[in-house]
Structure 1
């Protein structure tokens, strides 16, 4: 009692008296009612003493595993476990042992026990699993016994609050789990790289001159806004040229660095990333940026990532995984060629680099630049909605730097025997012959290999393997036929329809094309680029360069190709895909941009039907106009990007169950369910692609369409439905993909 120095006996008596008095007032039937109640003044004094003693008592620590000694300050660690199951998409609390108090900080990697004991209300068993500490707390909402952290793997704080927030936003957008996105964002640990100190950050470089940006009316203004630390957003239609776009992109990044802010550029492949890396190094010198690509190897790549995370480097050039690079004070985010499928992550939840960098630009108040020689419908949508401004050259400038584009009919073999033997229309053959006197000639072929598809010469029946029904292909002239699926050889083939034994190629690959061109131009060297053998560059001397789309090498010397032949246009335009025309134009523009201007004799011959919209856009060099017309068609049909879609794929009962649960979870108003429709059953022996049903199983696919602006509600409803079904174990699991690339 205050001032009375009450001992343990008097204190116990006082507490007992309070309890007995309260029992009398409640009338709970105890024997306290037979005792003499205390005076009101005495009860008030007892209650006050009890409150004071309780306030002076130390706060109880959470119960822990086997009574281990825990940290005194912030003894609870909230952990994100490395378990990508959507129904476990939450944080778990663990006790922090006193021995780990200093190292167990937010953002570090840890090992925890997970799995056993959850149902009994405790976390004290199970196997060890990796995770990240996201927060240190003084208390916990968990009512059971907390297990301690098993191990702090590294004191390096790799999961910063900014990176965690970005991962959470991406997971919510794509109806995925946070752990899956963190796996994409944080590279695997390499202990030796963490022990090495990062280099000291160099001083900011000087602001570069506009250079090639002066050719665009709004180009210098965009650079000024970046230099003033503003957040402009632009869709950039780059002018053709072998290296001009890389230099212009590097100048935009250097402008952000000169302003004291970070820069990040994501490119579709290592070849284009290397071009920007070289251009930026030539502009600002060594040490200002790092190159993050898979070609570097796990340990060097992690070392470079750590330099960015620690703030020693403020600029990153990389491929798809670099979209999560922890660049500090981001001032400019760039995506080059957003229509390339390499920008879409194959692992769950399959985010797209364009959308991730858009999210970062908005959240971090950074400038955003979406560049390409072409223009996707998503880029056109950004301009139409007012989110971004167009950044393009005027028509006079475009005409001055573009090559001359001509069209040739598919079936026109001409009257020249060499043109017939080379499978070229006479116009293309003459263009190649004339251009070879001035420099190299690029020949773009949509298919790689020799003859990847064969048919019966008599009845046109496709040649298939007798074992697995896979397509037969010819690896080289004079070799036995081989199955493209199971690789079994078929030395003696006979048509099952007409018993014919002679074959002809229905699809001609790059190697067969190179062989035919070598016979037509025997005095000219022929080089191939594609598949596993991609050339970075070729000499500027006369030669024929046969390449598949995206593998075109750059001629040395900076002059470009003297001509380009774009063969087999039907193979690109006839694909059963909503994006077939857009993709064909993107591939053609990429090859044609490597050709010299028409004032220097540069010529492009596209072998396709002249009246097709993508061909006309190539002739006029008007990718933005093509994208706007495609966007208008999508708007009439309600297709993305005018709307948002999600694909639900799986066994029929799983698709039906998930759609019903999503309805109960609250699909947004105006949601439409298209389908489900059955998916083709994979043929036996055929290699499976991600998302294909298992052999012998019948799967279905349904599309859920909502108006633009309701995408977040759609993702939330699908995720809630998926979590409920997994928690209740309601049958097989359906796959969910938000914003699928293919909706056919």
Structure 2
């Protein structure tokens, strides 16, 4: 509970004096129960005037919550107005006795291996200041960089070379990637680049035994490089010299447990705490990474225009020929010029078709008035699961037609549907008819293709329909790519819609062959949209600068700090009023809301209010919100959930 967010003192029996060291896991009596906790420090005396309880036993003598992880956990708790206990729960995985015994029974950690510089720098030389960054890290320095990768560069190989540079300086490295497929590629690159046994793989999806083994391997210094997903952000790394994150705007970095820290911010705090180098790497920049550049916290590393012209595919906007924008072509889902590019490219290699959604027809609307089609029972969205299927609700699963009744639009009384967004399955079906001689493969949802063979007679006449992030790797690159339904991606009611759409487009376009080799990308979207213009110029830097300026003018993150308060309307109103009355409430702070939060059928009705503060007053905002939640907890008032800098504010 927030009001109990403090250390508690216990007596250490003489029998445990040698094993109850700071950082180890112990069992203690607390509120009538025996609970597990961590020893934070050993003191000669206590400030507590009453009688102290004794430790029950030492569960594990291994100091897994050392000063490095503990200091980071405290910084994250302060940054996100959370409790130390909640952050420690995220930082240290559940103990597994068998895995711990196996690690400790293995050979002890030896002297750190210092490999020489790699013979192949894997594309770092293509980026301005790239070799200088590597040299600085290898010499023991702590530079910070935001790297926009050149088209066709292997991000995993870039990270592996950076980790080797850290090892060359006698320090360790922590590398974080969005998902297990990226981790597979990074693991292979590290195995090929680093000395044997230098790195360990840490991810939550492998289960408690494998995760504890990897965590303990790093904590005991047996591995100097840790590669993993979001779960690895807190991993203990001895003499940390480099932290790196791939695609920091990816949704997978949003922690879904309190206090909801973002992985990018955790690594930023780590770099500052440990004096380590920092690397934010991806095909584009987020507003947050652009802010770090403008604040001088990091420096840009990017490819020159000559490199981009030599390695990028040719970008075309559908319907924008020499005579201007063709309104008929712009309205078509697969315009003529996009169809022509795909037909010509299929003779030379596989063609990628990116669509925003999985499924068949994930969203339906009224054919006449185009109002969203909603379930009559729970107001959930209606969809079609497949060809010939009946429209059904995505929330409750009830069919829209049945029992002698049919769906009727509440706005105009029409009983027919139209597709709002066409899913990958329906797109694959349509393309199979449009290109009868081609093989159509789908990738997305539960079935993701990691790679595609495109040798002679294998994959040459293949259309790959993929959702963003699920595009399989093709050796030699795709012959062309079609980016469909751009209006759906750009039109989402989301602060980051343009930013995320550009990232998804550039990530797909980077898998296409260079223009000199015939590679072409056709985007079906409004040619005047900023994201489309940035894609055509392959200029994520200018787009990020413009995006950050626009957010600053509107007082939106990351130009301002936000605290989101979520709960029942009376509780949120009471909490906001208490916050207004607090002495620390700044005169320039703004209260936005409350607004209702859509929920599942039967769930309590919730509202959200946002409190915005200038960036320079963000720390005070966190302190005030933390004091508010602690006070409500002490008075046993209903919980109001707090989220600092929420990624979704709509």
For Structure 1 versus Structure 2, the TM-score category normalised by the shorter chain is: over 0.9
2:624 corresponds to 1:743: no
Partner residue in 2 for 1:495: 408
Are residue 545 (structure 1) and residue 469 (structure 2) matched?
A: no
Distance 2:263 2:491 in 1: 27
1:105-153 CA distance string (max 9 Å, x none) = 21111122211xxxxxxxxxx0122111111222212222222122322
> Deviation at 1:252?
0.9
SS of residue matched to 1:299 = helix
Q: 2: CA distance between counterparts of 1:280 and 1:707? A: 41
How far the C-alpha of 1:157 sits from its partner, in A, is 1.3
- Does residue 481 of structure 1 match 2:398? no
| Helix, strand or coil at the partner of 2:495 | coil
Q: Does 2:556 match 1:639?
A: yes
Partner of 1:41: none
Alignment of 1:566-605 (within 5 A): 566-605=483-522
Tell me whether 1:725 sits opposite 2:638 in the alignment. Answer: no
The counterpart of 2:8, out of the listed 92, 95, 104, is 92
Q: CA deviation at 1:459?
A: 4.3
Query: Any conservation in 2 of the 1:461–1:495 contact (CA below 8 Å)?
Result: no
Whether the 8 Å CA contact 1:666–1:717 is kept in 2: the answer is no
| Partners of 1:678 and 1:644 in 2: CA distance | 19
SS at match of 1:582: helix
Number of aligned residues: 631
Any unmatched runs of 5+ in structure 1?
Answer: 1-84, 116-125, 686-693
CA contact (8 A) 1:159 1:186 kept: yes
Distance in 2 between residues matched to 1:475 and 1:663, nearest whole Å: 49
Q: In structure 2, how many angstroms separate the alpha carbons of the residues matched to 1:485 and 1:643?
A: 35
For residues 535 and 294 of structure 1, what CA distance do their matches in structure 2 show?
22
Report 1:112-511 matches (<5 A).
112-115=28-31, 126-196=32-102, 197-199=105-107, 200-201=109-110, 203-209=113-119, 210-241=121-152, 244-409=154-319, 423-492=333-402, 493-497=406-410, 500-511=414-425
CA distance in 2 between partners of 1:500 and 1:467 (Å):
18
Deviation track 1:483-537 (CA, whole Å, cap 9, x = no partner) reads 2111123444342456654433221101111111111112211111111111111
Determine the structure 1 residue equivalent to 2:547: 630
How many angstroms apart in 1 are the aligned matches of 2:163 and 2:495?
34
In our comparison, the structure showing a higher alpha carbon Rg is: 1
Q: Residues 128 and 412 (structure 1 numbering): CA distance in 2 closer, same or farther, change over 3 Å?
A: farther
Match of 1:22 in 2: none
- State the distance in 2 between where 1:599 and 1:667 align: 60
The alpha-carbon deviation at position 681 of structure 1 amounts to 5.2
1:521 is the counterpart of 2:428: no
Q: How big is the shift at 1:651?
A: 2.5
Q: Spell out, residue by residue over 1:19-64, the C-alpha distance to the aligned partner (whole angstroms, 9 max, x if none).
A: xxxxxxxxxxxxxxxxxxxxxxxxxxxxxxxxxxxxxxxxxxxxxx
| Conserved? CA contact 2:382–2:393, under 8 Å | yes
Cα distance in 1 for residues equivalent to 2:355 and 2:156: 25
SS at match of 2:303: coil
Moved more, 577-586 or 280-289: 280-289
- Of 181-190 and 90-99, deviating more is 90-99
CA contact (8 A) 1:653 1:732 kept: no
Q: 1:289 to 1:452 in 2, by over 3 A?
A: same
Kindly state the Cα deviation for residue 224 of structure 1 after the two structures are TM-superposed. Answer: 0.9
- Cα 1:670–1:226 change in 2 (3 A) is farther
Q: 1:666 aligns with which of 579, 583, 586?
A: 583
Q: TM-score under structure 1 normalisation?
A: 0.82
Q: 1:455 to 1:701 in 2, by over 3 A?
A: closer
C-alpha distance in structure 2 between counterparts of 1:683 and 1:499, whole Å = 25
- Structure number with greater CO (CA < 8 Å, separation at least 6) is 2
| Equivalent residue for 1:706, pick from 606, 613, 627 | 613
- Which residue of 2 is the match for residue 110 of structure 1? 26
Give the equivalent residue in structure 2 for 1:119.
none
**What is the SS of the residue equivalent to 2:41?**
strand
TM-score if structure 2 supplies the norm length?
Answer: 0.93
Structure 1 370/198 Cα, relative in aligned 2: closer, same or farther at 3 Å?
farther
Say whether the 8 Å CA contact 2:160–2:194 is kept in structure 1: no
Q: Which whole-Å CA distance do the structure 2 matches of 1:545 and 1:297 have between them?
A: 32
Contact 1:469–1:683, Cα closer than 8 Å, also in 2: no
Deviates more, 1:294-303 or 1:716-725: 294-303
Shift of 1:655: 2.3
